[in-house]
């Protein structure tokens, strides 16, 4: 019996021993598991602390670089202040050391060390984990002035070209805005916008009385459209706008050669340098004998019985007479001036984007007048004189030209042999070809294009001589050879075969500008 009882007790003890072993093993395993869990938490905390320290140090170094500090001591005072403002500390984190010094070429070199009290080391001792970060900021970056010269001619309405251009140009402005924010220089990026077609348009309210506009009609091209049977007569264009009861809309003509390809400052002492207000003269009533077309822009009665078309067209007394209809950008002295205004150099990036979104397309292509005014917005002389002096250290002037067609001067079967534009009429002999001859009536389409191409090539040469960097973008049509030669280098020319890729092209240009000039 005792043996039997003993046997039962032994089995009970055996069962207890087995369960106890499991409990002991589990208890022993909990320690390492807890340690591992806390260790993982420490690793995560250290990673987060590293990121926070790096971000705060980057911001502090950039802010310190923008101060007027000239010694390491002054720089450290500024850097420590900005770091303290950007870095959040608590009882488990302590800033151990910092360093802000001037490195090579005036760069700001910064480092910081943070002590983090971990859970594991904190339980076993007073040990800490050291978190370190370092950064370097270019203090003296280059400032850039950028002119966006954008084709807004009628062909841009084909397909999605206009919409694609707007999207690409707006995103370019945004990328330049972002680059400017990251630069250590204030207002590191200034941008102007120059839409063009057969002319360009300035702000008619701001510049109606500007001294660089031909206020009294002294420019040698002013009177050419006011013909007589034997020559010309004087007519003040601004006065004629008033007589008609309408306002000048802001468009301008090309200057007389050679000033059409130069940035010579406008001066009343040299009348040919002034800018002439665009005035689409009233063309004769009816059809001229021997020609197949009626005049397109006949908006007032001629008030004369003369059979000489020059007399009928050139009269200045008729503008006070009866009108043949409502005056607008399709009919009247502002005919052909339906495009959007340009914008001078600005850091109002949202306003520039708004202007781009509002662009409309109409008219023929005159790339030289667009490029000339792109240059004007960057010029230190005139008419705006917004740009810094040429070759100012740590400044770069850049023009980005985008066009979708060839230079064009319209032809029409009337004595004018075309329509009025920023080049005047072709019979005014304003455009000089590469052989030195001036275009006149009867010039072929190819000759007209060649003459404008030649003026553009001279412009590009003269601009590059002033150290202006030029990017050119050909969209689907036009002369790739001309635009490639205009660009500063082969890498600055983009041959776009589909406008849907324009965003990528403008992104590439933005990246080049940021890398070469803003982030070195």
Kindly report the three-state secondary structure assignment for every residue of 294-360.
ECCCCCECCCCCCCCHHHHHHCCHHHHCCECCCCCCCCCCCCCCCCCCCEEEECCHHHHHHHHHCCC
Are residues 457 and 405 both part of a single domain? Answer: yes
Please choose, from the candidates 197, 200, 483, the residue with its C-alpha nearest in 3D space to the C-alpha of residue 366: 197
Question: Is residue 26 pLDDT above 60, yes or no?
Answer: no
pLDDT score for 309 = 92
In a domain, 29, yes or no: no
What's the chain's average pLDDT?
Answer: 87
Q: Are residues 393 and 340 in the same domain?
A: yes
* pLDDT band at 118; cut points 50, 70, 90: confident
Closest CA to 200 of 371, 349, 346: 371
Domain assignment present for 402: yes
**Looking at the domain assignment, is residue 484 inside a domain?**
yes
- Asked if residue 231 has pLDDT above 70, the reply is yes
- Together in a domain, 150 and 122: no
The predicted structure's pLDDT at residue 476: 78
What is the rounded average pLDDT of the residues 384-391? 96
Residue 343 confidence (pLDDT) above 50: yes
One domain, residues 83 and 120: yes
Closest listed residue to residue 261, CA positions, set 458, 482, 26? 458
User: Does residue 209 register a pLDDT over 50?
Assistant: yes
In this prediction, residues 195-214 reach a mean pLDDT of 97
| 81 and 157 housed in the same domain | no
CATH of the domain at 47: 3.30.1300
Phi, psi torsion values for 399, nearest 5 degrees: -120, 130
In 3-state terms, the chain is what percent helix, strand and coil (to 5)?
A: 40, 15, 40
- pLDDT per position as a tens digit, 250-267: 999 999 999 999 999 999
Band the pLDDT of 21: cuts 50, 70, 90. low
Q: pLDDT tens-digit profile of 150-160? A: 999 998 888 89
Query: Among residues of the chain, what percentage have pLDDT more than 90?
Result: 64
Is 437 part of any domain?
A: yes
Mean pLDDT score, 366-383: 97
Pair 261, 157 in one domain: yes
Whether 79 and 132 map to the same domain: the answer is yes
**What is the number of other CB atoms lying within 10 angstroms of the CB of residue 301?**
13
Give domain status of residue 454, yes or no.
yes
The number of distinct structural domains making up the chain is: 2
Instruction: Check whether residue 48 and residue 195 sit in a common domain.
Output: no
**Structure confidence at residue 4 (pLDDT):** 43
Domain shared by 385 and 507, yes or no? yes
Kindly state the average pLDDT of the residues 64-87.
86
What does the pLDDT read at residue 3?
42
Q: Using pLDDT thresholds of 50, 70 and 90, give the confidence band for residue 511.
A: confident
pLDDT of 185 over the 70 cut: yes
- For the chain, give the longest Cα–Cα distance: 153
pLDDT for 141: 66
CATH number at residue 454: 3.40.50.410
Of residues 334 and 517, more confidently modeled: 334
Q: How confident is the model at residue 173 (pLDDT cuts 50, 70, 90)?
A: very high
Query: Does the predicted model carry a pTM greater than 0.85?
Result: no
Instruction: Using pLDDT thresholds of 50, 70 and 90, give the confidence band for residue 520.
Output: very low
Q: What pLDDT sits at residue 40?
A: 63
β-bridge mates for residue 132, sequence order: 113
Residue 492's nearest CA partner among 476, 477, 475, 513 is 513
Instruction: Single out the residue in 120, 137, 154 at which a domain terminates.
Output: 137
In terms of pLDDT, which residue wins out, 214 or 59? Answer: 214
3-state secondary structure 142-185: CEEEEEEEEECCHHHHCCCHHHHHHHHHHHHHHHHHHHHHHCCC
Comparing CA positions, the residue from 148, 145, 219 lying closest to residue 373 is: 148
Peptide linkage before 258 cis (omega within 30 of 0): yes
Residue 112 falls within a domain, yes or no?
yes
Instruction: Identify the pLDDT of residue 18.
Output: 53
Q: Is pLDDT at 121 greater than 60 in this prediction?
A: no
Domain-ending residue, one of 110, 137, 164: 137
Q: What is the DSSP letter of 77?
A: H
- Say which DSSP state 516 is in: I
pLDDT in tens, 284-311: 998 777 777 788 899 999 989 898 999 9
**Domain hosting residue 365, numbered range:** 143-210+256-267+335-518
Shared-domain flag, residues 341 and 473: yes
Together in a domain, 368 and 498: yes
Specify whether 440 is located in the same domain as 496. yes
pLDDT of residue 413: 87
């Amino acid at each position: 019996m005792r043996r039997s009882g003993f046997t039962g007790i032994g089995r009970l003890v055996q069962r207890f021993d087995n369960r106890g072993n499991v409990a002991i093993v589990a208890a022993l395993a909990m320690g390492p598991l807890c340690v591992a869990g806390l260790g993982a938490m420490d690793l995560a905390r250290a990673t987060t602390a590293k990121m926070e320290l790096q971000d705060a140090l980057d911001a502090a170094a950039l802010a310190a670089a923008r101060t007027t500090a000239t010694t390491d001591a002054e720089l450290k005072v500024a850097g420590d202040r900005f770091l303290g403002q950007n870095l959040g500390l608590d009882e488990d984190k302590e800033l151990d050391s910092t360093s802000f010094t001037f490195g090579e070429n005036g760069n700001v070199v910064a480092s910081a060390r943070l002590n983090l009290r971990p859970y594991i080391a904190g339980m076993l001792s007073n040990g800490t984990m050291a978190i370190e970060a370092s950064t370097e900021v270019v203090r003296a970056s280059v400032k850039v002035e950028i002119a966006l010269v954008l084709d807004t001619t009628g062909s841009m309405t084909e397909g999605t070209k206009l919409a694609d251009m707007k999207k690409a140009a707006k995103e370019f402005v945004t990328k330049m805005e972002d680059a400017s924010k990251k630069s250590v220089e204030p207002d590191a990026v200034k941008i102007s916008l120059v839409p063009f077609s057969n002319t360009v348009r300035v702000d008619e309210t701001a510049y109606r009385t500007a001294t660089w506009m031909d206020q009294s009609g002294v420019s040698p091209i002013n009177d050419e459209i006011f013909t007589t049977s034997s020559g010309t007569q004087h007519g003040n264009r601004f006065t004629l706008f008033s007589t008609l009861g309408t306002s000048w809309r802001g468009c301008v003509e090309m200057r007389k050669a050679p000033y059409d390809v130069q940035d010579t400052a406008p001066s009343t002492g040299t009348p040919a340098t002034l800018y002439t207000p665009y005035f689409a003269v009233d063309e004769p009533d009816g059809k001229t004998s021997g020609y197949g077309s009626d005049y397109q822009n006949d908006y007032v009665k001629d008030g004369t019985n003369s059979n000489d078309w020059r007399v009928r067209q050139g009269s200045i007394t008729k503008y006070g007479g009866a009108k043949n209809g409502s005056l607008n950008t399709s009919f009247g002295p502002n005919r052909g001036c339906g495009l959007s205004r340009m914008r001078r150099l600005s850091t109002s990036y949202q306003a520039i984007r708004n202007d781009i979104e509002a662009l409309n397309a109409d008219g023929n292509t005159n790339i030289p007048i667009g490029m000339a005014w792109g240059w004007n917005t960057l010029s230190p002389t005139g008419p705006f004189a917004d740009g810094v002096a040429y070759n100012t250290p740590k400044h770069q002037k850049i023009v980005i030209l985008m066009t979708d067609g060839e230079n064009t001067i319209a032809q029409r079967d009337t004595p004018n042999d075309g329509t009025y534009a920023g080049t005047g009429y072709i019979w005014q002999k304003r455009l000089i070809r590469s052989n030195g001859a001036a275009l006149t009536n009867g010039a072929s389409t190819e000759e007209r294009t060649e003459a404008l191409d030649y003026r553009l090539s001279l412009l590009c040469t003269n601009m590059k001589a002033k150290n202006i960097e030029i990017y050119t973008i050909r969209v689907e049509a036009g002369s790739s050879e001309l635009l490639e030669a205009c660009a500063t280098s082969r890498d600055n020319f983009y041959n776009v075969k589909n406008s849907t890729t324009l965003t990528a092209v403008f992104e590439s240009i933005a990246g080049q500008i940021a890398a070469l000039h803003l982030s070195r």
